[in-house]
Amino acid sequence: MAKEPGFNTLKLLIDGRWCDGGSGGSEPVYNPADGTVLGQLAHADASDLDRALAASQKGFDHWRHVSAVERQAVIDRTVALIKDRRDVIARILTLEMGKPLAESLVEVDFATDTLKWYGEEGRRVYGRILPPRAPGLRSHVLKEPVGPVIGFVAWNFPAVNVIRKVAGAVASGCSIVLKPSEETPGTAIAIAQCFLDAGLPDGVLNLVFGVPDMISRHLMASPVPRKVTVTGSTAVGKHLTRLAADTLKRCTMELGGHAPVVIAADADIDLAVSQLIGAKRRNAGQVCTSPTRFIVEQDAYADVCDAFSAAFEKTKVSDGLQEGAQMGPLIARRRCEWMDQLTEDALSKGARVLCGGERMGNQGSFYKPTVIADAGPDMMAMNDEPFGPMVLIMPVPDLDAALTEANRLDIGLAAYGYTTSQRSALDLQNGLNAGVVGINNAGVSLPEAPFGGVDETGQGSEGGSEGIETFLRTKFVNELAV
């Protein structure tokens, strides 16, 4: 146990110091590729959470007055340190989350790109001067940091999810108490150490781990934090939104998705398959924007089924540290059980399994890339997000029917459309009910672009100018010269 660098000291970070929890409790962190224990993670108790909240208030009281130029300098030093430690952080990420090392390296690079962009955007926070209504008046609008922040992040992107929360807070002058996932703590700890080594003042960034429900209820009940930012499931987001209501905390919620892919009869099938294979393999499908519900015009249906299943079946599934791995394990065996349940339900309702549909081996939590044809809206997997390497393909007579099915669910994070017709592309762009849309393109996330969903996929956006705006509050000042 704890033979790998990064797992020897899995502790809490409170007021600039690494510490064990007050109760002495802990839990094991597992490698999903083989089930081995990587280390023991300290648990916070109520007294630890109170100390973290107090540290966050103290950190905010100082950091809010630090200039945007100085904040950017700290962020730039952090970016440089993460780049220097890129290989180590990526290895930690693969060990605790399972994705191929090549993917982990890309994630760390995207995280540094995102952090650097937020540091720059922090210098582009502008107020405005209003025309005075009388001589001697000076009327202006200011932007100020909203206050201490709470962040909750999921396990599927241990580097990017952490950076999206911390970068927006730090760049805008806020402090943050962050609860990363207990399944992937090592990456968050390694990144936090980079912030500390870059000179981030004590209390501006605090990390806590433990029993999620206890931590969320305790932190959310406190009047100290004025904002909560969450990446997680829709159920978790609704729960935290209800808790936030008691103290009227501002909420940013990036929640579950179930991304539709509309493929028109005139689509370039080779282009679509080449892009969507990579997007679907990524993170073993454990991505909120993962293309999952393939809604295909009848004339292209057979070609899409054949091409995608043939390509997906060739995926090299293995331990993420193995050379040439294209897809790693799921985060835990519970995810395999969920995939089995969805597959069995689809088969019972008339679907066909073109490839996969079962686990791989007896070690770890590997699942075969799965393609299910003849999918229908009554199937569980067409309504509840698989969050795994599963694609469901459903035939429809035309694009109107495709859009109806694509928009049937009350969630809308990502959606994709493939067509060679400019008119159809415009119809898809305007008709797909989602926060981010890719047309003949499976890339929908950039640091400089807003990332967020509609309806039950959440509230607000991360990234873009919208991503930093949510950490700011607006103040109007009307001053009379005397």
Task: Considering the candidates 107, 121, 254, 405, report the single residue annotated as catalytic.
Answer: 254
Rounded Cα–Cα distance for residues 365 and 112 (Å): 29
**Going by C-beta distance under 8 Å and a sequence separation of 6 or more, which residues neighbour residue 256?**
232, 233, 234, 288, 385, 387, 411, 413, 457
The answer to whether the CB of 292 falls within 8 A of the CB of 386 is yes
SS (H, E, C) 34-63: CCCEEEEEECCCHHHHHHHHHHHHHHHHHH
Token pair recorded at residue 366? 């590997």
CA 76 vs CA 42, 112, 325, 452: distances in Å: 30, 9, 32, 26
**Going by C-beta distance under 8 Å and a sequence separation of 6 or more, which residues neighbour residue 36?**
1, 30
Rounded Cα–Cα distance for residues 127 and 116 (Å): 22
CA 206 vs CA 157, 162, 237, 258, 347: distances in Å: 19, 12, 21, 32, 47
Token pair recorded at residue 226? 């004025």
Rounded Cα–Cα distance for residues 94 and 159 (Å): 11
Task: Considering the candidates 174, 194, 288, 305, report the single residue annotated as catalytic.
Answer: 288
Residue 288 annotated to the active site: yes
Please count the other Cβ atoms lying within 10 Å of the Cβ belonging to residue 125: 19
Q: Which amino acid is at 61?
A: D
Residue 254 annotated to the active site: yes
> SS3 of 294, please?
strand
Single out the residue of 480, 479, 476 nearest to residue 141, CA to CA: 476
> SS3 of 104, please?
helix
> SS3 of 175, please?
coil
Q: Which residue has the tokens 């937020």?
A: 118
Q: In 18-133, which residue ranges form alpha helices assigned H by DSSP?
A: 46-63, 68-84, 86-97, 101-121
Please count the other Cβ atoms lying within 10 Å of the Cβ belonging to residue 46: 13
End-to-end alpha carbon distance in the chain: 70
Q: Which amino acid is at 21?
A: G
Torsion of CA 326, 331, 337, 339, to 10 degrees: -40
The answer to whether the CB of 309 falls within 8 A of the CB of 355 is yes
Q: Catalytic residue positions? A: 254, 288
